Amino acid sequence: MVVVLAAALVIFAGVSPTPSAAAPLRLVTDQWVPYENLSEAAAPGFSTEVLGGVFASMKQEVSFEEFPWARAAQLVFRGERDGIFTAFYNDERARYCHFPSEPLARDKWIFFVRAADVGRLRFSSFEDLMGHDIAVLRGASISPEFWDFARRHQRVVETASDEANFRMLEAGRVDLVVASHVNGTRLIASLGFVGKVAPLPSRSLKEDNLYVIFSKQRVSAEFVAQFSNALRRFKQTAAFQAIYRKYFQDVPPAPKP
């Protein structure tokens, strides 16, 4: 059963938690379409639905809460919540969290520009970004090389949402936006920016797996191993294939790494 209450989506997958989980899990996320969107009951996100199916198979009760990404991450790092999704790997997250051996999905960080700049701007090296203003989600796990460039050149604007970044791009306040290929493509459509904003047809910044990650303070490594096995099995089901088709069948190809 799925229940939406304000910004929290709660899934009751069973009355008894698995032996490795002492209490119902409390997971946090942000709004990152198509992976998570708790305000939309009919389409709460690929990761949200997959996690619901996996935890149901484990007879594990779980709740989901929505916060801005940086705040959600700190709640998990401080041990105030059990886990966060959907997350790329980075060293800081690995210090505080268990990464399952099985990912939820895979995606790429790429640049988006105004459609009029597709032929003018390019990204073959970081030198191509000199003199341009770039917007990015605060706390995003992009490559270390990108963040090193951002620190040295101070032309990167960090915000609390990808939607805000795309609105700044369309309005001409920044020249480029860094976003996940899938998320950025969906935002262009939902914001009415088709024909105005487009992916930059250059190489991607990073391609990597996406995970739900679990607090080392609150969740045992044994439970995370059980979850990985359950996720691996769930991916072989018709239910998983239906979820995948629901969220990804219309996603166009991304730029090559």
Does residue 252 register a pLDDT over 80? no
Lowest mean pLDDT among 6-10, 54-58, 113-117, 245-249: 6-10
Whether residues 8 and 100 fall in one domain: yes
Whether residues 196 and 77 fall in one domain: no
Tens digit of each residue's pLDDT (9 = 90 or more) over 142-167: 888 898 898 888 789 999 889 999 99
User: Which residue range(s) make up the domain with 81?
Assistant: 2-105+208-248
Whether residues 59 and 78 fall in one domain: yes
Residue 199 lies in a domain: yes
User: Average per-residue pLDDT in the chain?
Assistant: 88
| Confidence grade of residue 123 (pLDDT, cut at 50, 70, 90) | very high
Residue 254 lies in a domain: no
Whether residues 13 and 79 fall in one domain: yes
What's the total number of domains in the chain? 2
Whether residues 133 and 192 fall in one domain: yes
In angstroms, the CA 239 to CA 250 distance is: 19
Whether residues 212 and 89 fall in one domain: yes
Whether residues 66 and 80 fall in one domain: yes
What's the Rg (C-alpha) of the chain?
Answer: 19
**CATH number of the domain within which 83 lies:** 3.40.190.10
Q: What are phi and psi of 33, to 5 degrees?
A: -65, 135
Q: What are phi and psi of 196, to 5 degrees?
A: -110, -35
Out of 175, 191, 206, pick the residue that ends a domain.
206
Whether residues 148 and 217 fall in one domain: no
CA atoms 71, 141, 94, 182: torsion sign? positive
In angstroms, the CA 195 to CA 151 distance is: 32
Query: Residue 201's pLDDT is what?
Result: 83
CB of 73 closer than 8 Å to CB of 65: no
Whether residues 164 and 214 fall in one domain: no
Whether residues 81 and 147 fall in one domain: no
Does residue 245 register a pLDDT over 50? yes
Whether residues 139 and 178 fall in one domain: yes
Tens digit of each residue's pLDDT (9 = 90 or more) over 27-85: 999 999 899 999 999 999 999 999 999 999 999 999 999 999 999 999 999 999 999 99
